Amino acid sequence: MAAISCRGLLHCVVLIWSLYIHLRQVDARILQETFLYQVEVQTAFQATDVDKNFICATLDWWPSEKCSANNVCPWGGAGLPYLDLENPKLLEAMKELRPLVRAGGTLENIVVYDIGGQLPSEPCVNFTVNEGVFYGFSGGCLTMERWDALNAFFKKTGVEVVFGLNALYGRNKTKTTTGMGSQNVTGPWNWTNAYELMKYTRKKNYAISGWELGNELMGLAIDARVNPLQYSKDLRNLDRIVREVYKGHHTLPLVIAPDLQTDTYKSVNTLLRDHPAIKAWIGESGGVYGSGRHGVSDTFIDAFWYLDELGTASLFNTKVFCRQSFVGGNYGLLDRSTFEPNPDYYGLMGERVLFINVLTLDYISAYAHCQKDNKGGVTVLLLNFSNTTTASFNFNFLGSNKFSFRHEYHMSPADGNITSQVVLLNGQPLAVTSDGKIPRLLPVNKAPFEPISLKPLTYAYIVFPDVHASACERF
């Protein structure tokens, strides 16, 4: 639910007045025992904006040998070195969604870049299972042929990319502890290999919009932990080489410090303050730790986590929200063997966020954004967490209340099975066309007097194209 906040006296008066109306309606609702929900959307001013790159998805490094505890190995050929970049369905799905791509993940920390004549001091070999080192794999190599192919793919699909660097390069990766605990690593990051990759990238004119220093190396780190003081020194080196390599370039790529978890990291925070080009953000958010769970994180029901989280994040000034993963593991937006979109792939929310308030929030989540690509329109996402009851909604737009029709996009699972990988839009399955094209999302049109009704455990996008929300007129 969106919190409503007062901005100035006039707004407070409006809000208190509408709250009063609300309370009278609750009264009426209880007395009449109806199930009519009052929804109120503030259209005169916006809550916040999300970044144009808010929707982000990861491409990870895992090889097919990566297995989870229950002996499921969910990566197949979806890792960065192995992904079939020519697959038409993959291309289409990437082109249509155009998320910010975060190329990285746990194994980014150990990958070595093979830059022609500049032989790295660590061997450039494929990943192999090795229980004696961090993350259970040694090796990992990015050849420049593969880097060229990946960048051609990024360019063809029009995505922006941030790349996670090998922050353990030059460090001892031998594991001395067993079990879940992480181990402190000492000594500095050897940045020379990253520097060579960056120079190559600049020379080739590949548009990388951010360079990220390692994956989950602080706080609740996986296997290897770098102390904050050392990390901030490493980050300074990264900042320095980015400035040097991109000297004279029209834009400086971002320098990204991922996964900062608390404000106790004074040195890192000071650095962030002194270097505004360095950003902290949500780098990876898969909902489920360790590659996801087939039958949950790749099915219809996952939307109740993912869309709710996206909605909440958008209200709280999160600039970028990276879904782990675009493809790979059991939490991909695409199925990793067919490259068909999983239900979470489809979405309609825009970039400008509005305040929305639903009376009696039990079981309901609601988010409102300005409609994508249509000035003045509003898109509302409603999720019904109840597995038993259907109810209807009454909309009130504060600031503008005339609309002559609305579009409804009801999302439900195939066969009423919430763990289905097939999502129905208004009762019809969404599936890519035979040539791999993403289906157009077609609404049903409703007149204002027709009730909005949402079945248990389903969600819907309700779009009001002609409500003339003033917060959505200006872009």
Which sequence positions are flagged as catalytic? Answer: 216, 284
| Length of the chain (residues) | 475
Question: Token digits for 217?
Answer: 């190396």
Q: Which of 130, 267, 374, 386 binds ligand NAG (CB under 6 A)?
A: 386
Q: Is 31 exposed, middle or buried (0-12, 13-18, 19+ CB in 10 A)?
A: exposed
Indicate whether 176 belongs to the interface with ligand NAG (CB under 6 A): yes
Indicate whether 120 belongs to the interface with ligand NAG (CB under 6 A): yes
d(Cα 346, Cα 337) in Å, to the nearest integer? 19
Instruction: Write down the number of H helices and E strands in the chain.
Output: 7, 27
Indicate whether 230 belongs to the interface with ligand NAG (CB under 6 A): no
Which are the contacts of 57, defined by CB distance < 8 A and separation ≥ 6?
A: 97, 99, 100, 101, 102, 322, 323, 324, 325, 326, 333
- Shortest Cβ 302–ligand NAG spacing (Å): 13
- Shortest Cβ 386–ligand NAG spacing (Å): 2
At residue 36, the 3 state secondary structure works out as: strand
Instruction: Report the residue number, 318 or 421, with the smaller CB distance to ligand NAG.
Output: 421
Q: Scan residues 244-303 and list those touching ligand NAG (CB under 6 A).
A: 295
- Shortest Cβ 188–ligand NAG spacing (Å): 8
- Give percent helix, percent strand, percent coil of the chain, each to the nearest 5: 25, 25, 50
Q: CA torsion sign, 388 to 310 to 329 to 412?
A: positive
Instruction: Report the residue number, 54 or 331, with the smaller CB distance to ligand NAG.
Output: 331
- Shortest Cβ 346–ligand NAG spacing (Å): 18
Q: Which of 48, 68, 87, 192 binds ligand NAG (CB under 6 A)?
A: 192
Instruction: Report the residue number, 223 or 351, with the smaller CB distance to ligand NAG.
Output: 223
Instruction: Report the residue number, 84 or 473, with the smaller CB distance to ligand NAG.
Output: 84
Helix intervals (H) in 167-212: 192-203
CB neighbourhood size of 233 (10 A): 15
Q: Which of 70, 178, 387, 434 binds ligand NAG (CB under 6 A)?
A: 387
Q: Which of 10, 27, 84, 121 binds ligand NAG (CB under 6 A)?
A: 121
Strand spans (E) along 311-420: 321-323, 352-354, 356-358, 364-370, 378-384, 391-398, 406-413
Whether 329 contacts 296, CB under 8 Å: no
- Shortest Cβ 138–ligand NAG spacing (Å): 13
Identify any residues that bridge with 142 across adjacent strands, giving them in sequence order: 113
Indicate whether 363 belongs to the interface with ligand NAG (CB under 6 A): yes
Instruction: Report the residue number, 6 or 361, with the smaller CB distance to ligand NAG.
Output: 361
Q: Scan residues 437-466 and list those touching ligand NAG (CB under 6 A).
A: 454, 456
d(Cα 357, Cα 462) in Å, to the nearest integer? 15
Q: Which of 166, 193, 318, 379 binds ligand NAG (CB under 6 A)?
A: 193
Q: Which span (10-18, 88-96, 188-196, 303-311) binds ligand NAG, by CB under 6 A? A: 188-196
Provide DSSP, 225-236.
EE-HHHHHHHHH
d(Cα 372, Cα 314) in Å, to the nearest integer? 15
Question: Token digits for 216?
Answer: 């989950």
Indicate whether 170 belongs to the interface with ligand NAG (CB under 6 A): yes
- Shortest Cβ 100–ligand NAG spacing (Å): 26
Indicate whether 389 belongs to the interface with ligand NAG (CB under 6 A): yes
Indicate whether 419 belongs to the interface with ligand NAG (CB under 6 A): yes
> Under rule CB under 6 A, how many of the chain's residues touch ligand NAG?
31
Indicate whether 227 belongs to the interface with ligand NAG (CB under 6 A): yes
Which are the contacts of 80, defined by CB distance < 8 A and separation ≥ 6?
A: 59, 60, 61, 103, 142, 146, 150
Q: Which of 307, 391, 425, 463 binds ligand NAG (CB under 6 A)?
A: 391
At residue 145, the 3 state secondary structure works out as: helix
- Shortest Cβ 282–ligand NAG spacing (Å): 23
Q: Scan residues 302-361 and list those touching ligand NAG (CB under 6 A).
A: none
- Shortest Cβ 55–ligand NAG spacing (Å): 25
Identify any residues that bridge with 381 across adjacent strands, giving them in sequence order: 367, 461
Indicate whether 138 belongs to the interface with ligand NAG (CB under 6 A): no
CB neighbourhood size of 250 (10 A): 5
* Binding site residues, ligand NAG, CB under 6 A: 35, 81-82, 120-121, 126, 170, 172, 174, 176, 184, 190, 192-193, 227, 295, 362-364, 384, 386-391, 417, 419-420, 454, 456
